[in-house]
Amino acid sequence: MKEFIEFIAKHLVDNPENVKVEVNEVDENTVEVNLSVGADDVGKVIGKEGKTARSMRTLLTAIAAKEGKKASLKIID
C-alpha cells in the first residue's frame, strides 16, 4: 500500500523528493496512510474538487480490501 501511494504521488507532484508516506496500523484490520508533500504540491495531489484525492482513496480501499483490511488516506498539509 505504501509503495503504491508513494508511486502515484511522486508522479503527480513537481518535487517528488518531498513526498513522504507513513502507514499506521490502527488495529489488525484497519490501516491509516498519511501522505505529506511539499507546500506547492498539495493542490496537485488533491486535484480539482478533490477528485484526485478521492481516486487515490478509492484505489487504496481496493488494495486494502484484497488484504482483508480497511484503509484511509490522510493528506497532511
d(CA 40, CA 7): 18
What is the per-residue pLDDT for 12? 96
What is the per-residue pLDDT for 77? 79
pLDDT in tens, 2-18: 999 999 999 999 999 99
pLDDT in tens, 33-72: 999 999 999 999 999 999 999 999 999 999 999 999 999 9
Specify the amino acid at residue 24.
N
- Running DSSP on this structure, what letter comes out for residue 7? H
What is the per-residue pLDDT for 20? 97
**3-class SS of residue 1:** coil
Q: Residue 27: which pLDDT band, with cuts at 50, 70 and 90?
A: very high
- Running DSSP on this structure, what letter comes out for residue 68? T
Domains and CATH numbers, the chain: 2-76 (3.30.300.20)
Outline where DSSP puts E strands in the chain.
20-27, 30-36, 70-76
C-alpha closest to that of 36 among 50, 55, 16: 16
